[in-house]
Amino acid sequence: MYADTTSSHSAEWKTVGCSAGGLLSIHGSHESALCLGIVRVAGIQSDISHQKYRRHNTLLQFCNLSVDRMHSSIVDTPPPLASSVPIRTSGTAMPALSSNEGPLPKPASADSGFMLSFPAMENPFTSDAFLLRILAWYLPKDEFEKAKQQFTQLGNEAISPQVMEWNANAEKQQPYVKAHNVWGQRYDYDKLVTAEGWKELGKWGARTGAIALGYEPEFGDYKRIVQYVQTYIYSPVSGLTSCPVAMTDGAARLLSQIIPSLPASHPFHDAYQRLIARTDAWTSGQWMTERAGGSDVQNTETWAKYSPLPEKTGPFGRIDEGDYLVSGFKFFSSATDADMTILLAKTESGKLSTFLAPLRKIIIDADGKERVVSNGVRIHRLKNKLGTKQLPTAELELKDMRAHLVGPLDQGIPTISHILNITRAHTFMASAAGWRRALSIAKSFAKARTTLDQPLWTLPLHLRTLAETETKLRGCLHLAFFTIALMGFSETSFPSTSPAAKYAPLPNAGHEAQVVLRTLTAVAKAVVSKNAVSGVQECMESMGGVGYIDEADEPEHNIARVFRDTNVNAIWEGTTNVLASEFVRHVLKKDNIEVFGAWLDRAIHTVENDVYRDVLDKSWKNLYRRLAGSKDRVPEALANGRRIMFSLAWIVIGLLLATDAQRDREGVAEEIARRWIVNGEPGVGEWKMPDVGEIGPHARFQEGEERAKWDCRIVWGVELPKNASTGQRVRAKF
């Protein structure tokens, strides 16, 4: 494939696979070649025209010049490369053409010629150095080691052929509804047909603790952090079963707060245990959106009528023997194949209440036998969406759906908000996970690909693009995991830490923690999800045309699918503007801005670097002044809501980057903090206020080789090879 074996002057060539070091010695010599940087000759891919091939003497001069320049090109360790490349064995001659009018190179065909060899998928847990760094910050050493064992195994499963096969199957065999049999008779309940891959991925998620880890006692106060690491690994390869997982987690959290006050015979106890089970687990829907209201649920047209059964099974009845009959129309309902759902409906007071209902119920037919039928639910139609095609999303008509009241009557919004906090957390973590997945694919491509006869992974412009993407992703991951840690500690108890421990700057337990958590949940969901869309798009673009290919049978390399699926995260569970409005109303309510400000002031003053601390402090004072002055001008603040929210995200991320870097002075962590805080790059998007993160006199923008070296450390974790790619083709002078 590589040499012209028909020529009598053909030299001996060896194919050397690039290992983790990137180079292999030949016969003990110190000669080495830059992997994938060799000019292709004698049938190898080349940009040199056929006419230039005929001028073989000049070509040989060009090839020898190129190879000689490459012999000393790498002395430091590059990332592992996948493709095998031909390199000249020491002491042999270069291949030559037989005459000035020698044969043309063999043309490529559909099955021959250059074929890119893509690297095997890496374990998404063990290969993610930044994830390991975050976990080592938040988890005690013993919990960290215990989690590492579990997630190394999960990471291996996540890249297994079986999981890839399930993903491909779920994408190709999309859900559909069968309502009638061949004779035209309606089934007892609408048959929602989903792929076997979809079903198996859901079972796999339950087995590996997608829900259970958040409720089992194994990891104590740190269980939410551990659970969301599972989400981070599982979500990108879950075939969107991560969506019902999110709603199921929210329902489990809601019931966990209610059942302590309920008698042991109440059916909610059994429902809760089924939701958090690892085998034969239930899933739950979350039905709120309607045609009239969208995010404004006060316009709900679904009504609940109090109509208890004259006889029940036991004092509280079964799960399908609730006291209310619910009727209405739900316009968006994901996880349509769920076992139960949490939904909103109005009661006779005209106010919203929260209800729990199974999707099916048991009746006694005419011959006295039990029969499972629909619990008043009819699938009107399935939605045809840009992405998340594996996930059945439907319009549902409800008619006398028997349901249980959840929480106090007429307190629907406060009750269901417990679910929203959980589902939004799953959404921003899934966004970050999809972004990381896309970046991993883009990096694998860069390791395997050459351009301008040079390896793409060291090309300065490409390297800078990847470094900016990595920097932004790390900032968003800091915000995501800090919010998750705060959520987990608020549910259990806060760890006892001292200033010397250099732990993440947590708020005080109680009211302060609740205000900060509510604020950051909305901020993280909006900012991480929004940036993930552009981040995944950047990764897709970095692969050129192949990044745009949407091949269902090859999910391991399919960034296009990641892009389609990631887009939804900026929409469901509240769009960016909806969250910005919620955020503004929340921080301007009562003394919330003062409470939040007290925590952020303290946290900023734990930053040891004087420059970082001054920039963050000045930025927060400017934003605080704007917010505090808006209490009597709420419409103005709402109009600026997106910019205010993204500005706060920039400050909090800068704080977390700084406090992370100062705990061990690790070089890359320090550099990312400097770029974010002092240089104002790459930031959180175009919506930041101009007086937040202003570029001051301490900014230092690296150029040339210095910048490339730091970009290489950020992206690859290794030193930039000497005489690396320049981004300009090396040509002989003819």
Query: Using N-to-C axis directions, what is the helix angle for 223-234 and 242-258, rounded to 10°?
Result: 160
At 187 the three-state DSSP class reads strand
Q: How far apart are CA 8 and CA 398, in angstroms?
A: 81
Q: Residue 93 CB: number of other CB atoms within 10 A? A: 12
Q: Which has more confidence, 497 or 301?
A: 301
Question: Which one is predicted more confidently, 612 or 724?
Answer: 612
Query: What is the SS3 assignment for 371?
Result: strand
In this structure, is residue 311 part of a structural domain?
A: yes
- Domain boundary residue, one of 56, 88, 120: 88
Verify that 351 and 442 share a domain, yes or no.
Answer: no
Among candidate residues 214, 262, 80, the one with its CA nearest the CA of residue 488: 214
Residue 370 covered by a domain: yes
Please tell me the distance from the alpha carbon of residue 469 to that of residue 654, in angstroms, as a whole number: 16
Domain boundary (381, 410, 439) is at 410
State the distance between the two ends of the chain, measured CA to CA, in whole angstroms.
Answer: 28
Give me the pLDDT at residue 56, please: 38
Quote the CA–CA distance of 496 and 503 in Å, as a whole number.
Answer: 10
Q: Using one digit for the tens of pLDDT, what is the confidence trace for 457-515? A: 999 999 999 999 999 999 999 999 999 999 999 999 999 865 556 899 999 999 999 99
258 and 343 inside one domain: yes
682 cis-preceded (ω within 30 degrees of 0): yes
| pLDDT value for 498 | 55
**454 and 470 co-located in one domain:** yes
The CATH number given to whatever domain includes residue 376 is: 2.40.110.20
- Residue 307: strand, helix, or coil: coil
- When mean pLDDT is compared across 83-87, 314-318, 337-341, the lowest value belongs to 83-87
Sign, CA torsion 625/629/634/640: negative
What is the C-alpha to C-alpha distance for residues 363 and 65, in angstroms, rounded to an integer?
84
Q: Which region, left, alpha or beta, applies to residue 119 given φ > 0 means left and ψ of -120 to 50 means alpha?
A: beta
**Choice between 58 and 724, residue whose per-residue pLDDT is larger:** 724
Assess whether 367 and 459 both reside in one domain.
no
CA–CA separation, 329 and 343 (whole Å): 11
Q: Is residue 722 part of a domain?
A: no
pLDDT digits (tens, 9 = 90+) for 28-58: 333 333 333 333 333 333 333 343 333 333 3
Q: What is the CATH number of the domain that holds 466?
A: 1.20.140.10
Q: What is the pLDDT of residues 548-589, one digit of tens each?
A: 999 999 999 999 999 999 999 999 999 999 999 999 999 999
Contact 693, 677 (CB under 8 A): yes
What average pLDDT does this structure show over 681-700?
Answer: 83
- Strands (E) across 60-150 are located at 84-88
pLDDT value of residue 434: 98
Q: What is the pLDDT of residue 501?
A: 64
Return the pLDDT at 681.
86
- Region of 729 (left: φ > 0; alpha: ψ -120 to 50; beta: rest) is beta
Provide the percentage of residues in the chain whose pLDDT is more than 90.
75
220 has pLDDT over 70: yes
Assigned domain for 658 exists: yes
pTM: 0.86
Return d(Cα 443, Cα 48) in angstroms, integer.
28
Domain co-membership, 498 together with 560: yes
Q: How far is CA 587 from CA 518, 595, 620, in A?
A: 9, 9, 14
Lowest mean pLDDT among 100-104, 583-587, 619-623, 716-720: 100-104
Mean pLDDT over 399-407 rounds to 98
Instruction: State the DSSP string of 119-144.
Output: PPPPPTTTT-HHHHHHHHHHS-HHHH
pLDDT of 95 reads: 44
Q: How many separate domains does the chain show?
A: 3
Q: Calculate the alpha carbon distances from 187 to 182, 271, 372 in Å.
A: 10, 26, 11
If you average pLDDT over residues 338-353, what whole number do you get? Answer: 97
How far lies 175's CA from each of 395, 567, 634, in Å?
Answer: 14, 20, 45
Q: How far is CA 90 from the centre of its chain?
A: 47
Opening angle at CA 329, ends 325 and 335, nearest 5: 95
Q: Is residue 116 part of a domain?
A: no
Please report whether residue 247 resides in a domain.
Answer: yes
**What pLDDT shows up at residue 53?**
36
Question: Would you give the DSSP letter of residue 721?
Answer: P
Of 342, 376, 410, the position where a domain reaches its end is 410
Whether residues 565 and 636 share a domain: the answer is yes
Question: Do 572 and 690 reside in the same domain of the chain?
Answer: yes
What rounded mean pLDDT belongs to the chain?
87
Per-residue model confidence (pLDDT) at position 96: 46
Please tell me whether residues 304 and 379 are part of one structural domain. yes
Q: How many residues does the chain have?
A: 734
Element (H, E) at 201: helix 196-207
Q: What pLDDT score does 697 carry?
A: 80
> Do residues 95 and 9 lie in contact, with contact meaning Cβ atoms separated by under 8 Å?
yes
> What is residue 32's predicted lDDT score, i.e. its pLDDT?
35
Provide the domain limits for residue 346: 129-410
pLDDT at 734: 36
- Which SS3 state, helix, strand or coil, does residue 346 take? strand
Place of tokens 């003819």: 734
Q: How confident is the model at residue 79 (pLDDT cuts 50, 70, 90)?
A: low
* 3-state DSSP percent of the chain in helix, strand and coil, to 5: 45, 10, 40
User: Is 2 contained in some domain?
Assistant: no
The β-bridge partners of 342 are: 286, 356
Assess whether 84 and 141 both reside in one domain: no
Based on the fold, state whether residues 344 and 449 are members of the same structural domain. Answer: no
Per-residue pLDDT band for 159 (boundaries 50, 70, 90) equals very high
> Residue 274 domain-assigned?
yes
Instruction: Indicate whether 461 and 563 sit together in one domain.
Output: yes
Q: Which two tokens stand for residue 653?
A: 């991320």
- Is the domain of 542 the same as that of 682? yes
SS3 of 161, please? helix
DSSP string across 510-570: THHHHHHHHHHHHHHHHHHHHHHHHHHHHHHHHTGGGGG---TT-GGG-HHHHHHHHGGGG
Q: Report residue 74's pLDDT band, with 50, 70 and 90 as the boundaries.
A: very low
How many Å apart are CA 227 and CA 517, to the nearest integer? 18
| pLDDT for res 474 | 98
Q: How confident is the model at residue 678 (pLDDT cuts 50, 70, 90)?
A: very high
CA dist list (Å): 568 to 128, 531, 577, 646: 25, 12, 14, 19
